[in-house]
Structure 1
């Protein structure tokens, strides 16, 4: 039981000075008797970040089928403020995808990740990006159903190129199972994309990237997604995939209630330049930019969602809007906004404490403090017992 005092609370529509009360793993409406107070010294508090598209980090990939790899990647992003992670998988063989889903499903049940995102294999060859074109295939209802069954209710999202044969039927099948269908890696026209949205697709995977570009005579996926109020558009916030002025234009066109900042981060996130793997593809990271080895196609990013959030604010997006795009909007797209995404009473106590420059000071998930490592403890409120902000326990407790 804790009260975070002297904070600047970032709410969906404003920043408000005040206190935030916690009762165990949940946010409380009022102070809990006997709660310890932590004076945040005027720091910002935002809801925990929600990354609906991330492939790995800290040298580990969700694709490997190794539970310890998934735990390491999720722990890294958690320490940087991402309290909810959907583990994204690139295109693989049927056997590789089954192994990865079988590995991730129990971790989702445990809460390490919030579910699985299949970014493929039903993608357009002409827009394959960092996916192996030889492994792409037409939508297969039986394969999809088997993977969804294997996920045990934890398949959260699937990206589909809607122009492929059978794609609209697969969109309908995904929607019927409560799986978020997204259009992406597509050469589709605006009319075909609109048909996918009418069939039940409700998201666009990394808008602009790996899709037919916006053109004044054929708006393609970009125009169709921005114009449809039902659709959430992902935006990779690394400043490389989408220019800052274009990102600001997307916020202006769609609003923060429909823009979801994502990282599309791969194993190199948190590490330096070097050579890595994304699925079966070799990736070279130079100057923080990840590209397919020997080519120029970008292969995910190396950022955290906290980086994307800061970059959005620096591009002129108001702080509450950037926070919504990094928390509430993706939570709503995933159907998780009843428990996470805002600092409302009754929701899980997932939050990030930010310094004045918006760097991460502390992270809380489910009422427990965590990283990032190596930062000094925040000062306790005068006259209150100090808390160990790495564990959430009173100093000296046994």
Structure 2
């Protein structure tokens, strides 16, 4: 089936709340000039509202990243910054560097949070942070983040059903808003009928309008049948995101600059059959498509664009 002309199928611009970069540009480490070029490229492909996702990085790199991205947020070129770590589960870190993963109850974790909050008091650019519910100090961390205008999201976790349900309840009680689930199913403990893990709690929350589920519908991260299930049962809970990185080059596109693609600390490669991975590793590192390509592929697969487009407009 030919891929449809998306300009006729859906005239809306797209919102990407989870994207690390595009076409050679890494939001965590690239220059301001290259980030501007990357955003212009995304705008040309109708992703006009972007939240820059920063993977788990050490505290020095975090400060440098926030200093570069802050003026872009102030200028309206970015909608904010999403910190995907460092308070995540080491066993479910995925492409995030284990050495930079922290516990919120540790002295290093406390210093990291202090650095985030110091930037936030001066320029409130961080809009969301992904956390693992099972970490010691989770409840206190959530209260602190919400008090400083940062929405806690849940992901990169080996949480039990009870831990995930508790985390959703705690965040929802403080924010009175649906809780974001970071790239659902990926970097999360799986389902078992005697130990359902975190996703059963997510499903229950979505059914009660208490969760927003990020789905990377690039054909590699989540099975199409499962994507269809969500659209059939809980379309209002879906937030389609690209999770794209500097190693993600949309069809017909070319990398910006000649640097090797990065994801924060990690250097990336792009095996043709797998998509972006950490160099010298088989760990899937990011999404393989931007939102325009995701939209077109879903429509080509028979998903109604009238359902797809709202899931990309937040």
* TM-score when normalising by structure 1: 0.68
Q: Secondary structure at the match of 2:165?
A: helix
Runs of 4+ in 1 over 6 A off after TM superposition: none
Q: Secondary structure at the match of 1:101?
A: helix
C-alpha deviation, 1:272, in angstroms: 6.6
Q: Is 2:286 the counterpart of 1:300?
A: yes
Q: In 2, are the aligned partners of 1:88 and 1:116 still within 8 Å (CA)?
A: yes
What aligned pairs does 1:54-203 form with structure 2 within 5 A after superposition? 54-64=19-29, 66-139=31-104, 140-141=109-110, 143-151=112-120, 152-200=123-171, 202-203=179-180
Counterpart in the other structure of 2:245: 266
C-alpha deviation, 1:252, in angstroms: 2.9
Q: Is 2:203 the counterpart of 1:234?
A: no
Question: Any unmatched runs of 5+ in structure 1?
Answer: 1-41, 331-398
Q: In 2, are the aligned partners of 1:226 and 1:233 still within 8 Å (CA)?
A: no
Q: Could you report, residue by residue, the CA deviation over 1:282-315 in whole angstroms, capped at 9, with x for unpaired residues? A: 2210226111222221000231111122233334
How many Å separate the matches in 2 of 1:245 and 1:126? 27
Q: Secondary structure at the match of 2:276?
A: strand
Question: Any unmatched runs of 5+ in structure 2?
Answer: 1-6, 173-178
C-alpha deviation, 1:239, in angstroms: 0.5
Counterpart in the other structure of 1:248: 228
Q: 1:244 to 1:52 in 2, by over 3 A?
A: same
Q: 1:310 to 1:218 in 2, by over 3 A?
A: farther
Q: In 2, are the aligned partners of 1:261 and 1:309 still within 8 Å (CA)?
A: no
How many Å separate the matches in 2 of 1:68 and 1:212? 39
Q: 1:65 to 1:267 in 2, by over 3 A?
A: closer
Counterpart in the other structure of 1:205: 182
Q: In 2, are the aligned partners of 1:105 and 1:150 still within 8 Å (CA)?
A: no
Q: Secondary structure at the match of 2:166?
A: helix
Structure whose alpha-carbon radius of gyration is higher: 1
Residue of structure 1 aligned with 2:296, choices 278, 294, 310: 310
Please provide the CA RMSD for this pair.
Answer: 2.0
Q: Could you report, residue by residue, the CA deviation over 1:326-382 in whole angstroms, capped at 9, with x for unpaired residues? A: 11xx3xxxxxxxxxxxxxxxxxxxxxxxxxxxxxxxxxxxxxxxxxxxxxxxxxxxx
Q: Is 2:261 the counterpart of 1:282?
A: no
C-alpha deviation, 1:318, in angstroms: 2.1
Q: Secondary structure at the match of 1:266?
A: coil
Q: 1:233 to 1:141 in 2, by over 3 A?
A: farther
Structure with bigger helix share is 2
Q: In 2, are the aligned partners of 1:265 and 1:300 still within 8 Å (CA)?
A: yes
How many Å separate the matches in 2 of 1:106 and 1:286? 35
C-alpha deviation, 1:176, in angstroms: 2.7
Q: Secondary structure at the match of 2:158?
A: coil
Residue of structure 2 aligned with 1:225, choices 175, 197, 202: 202
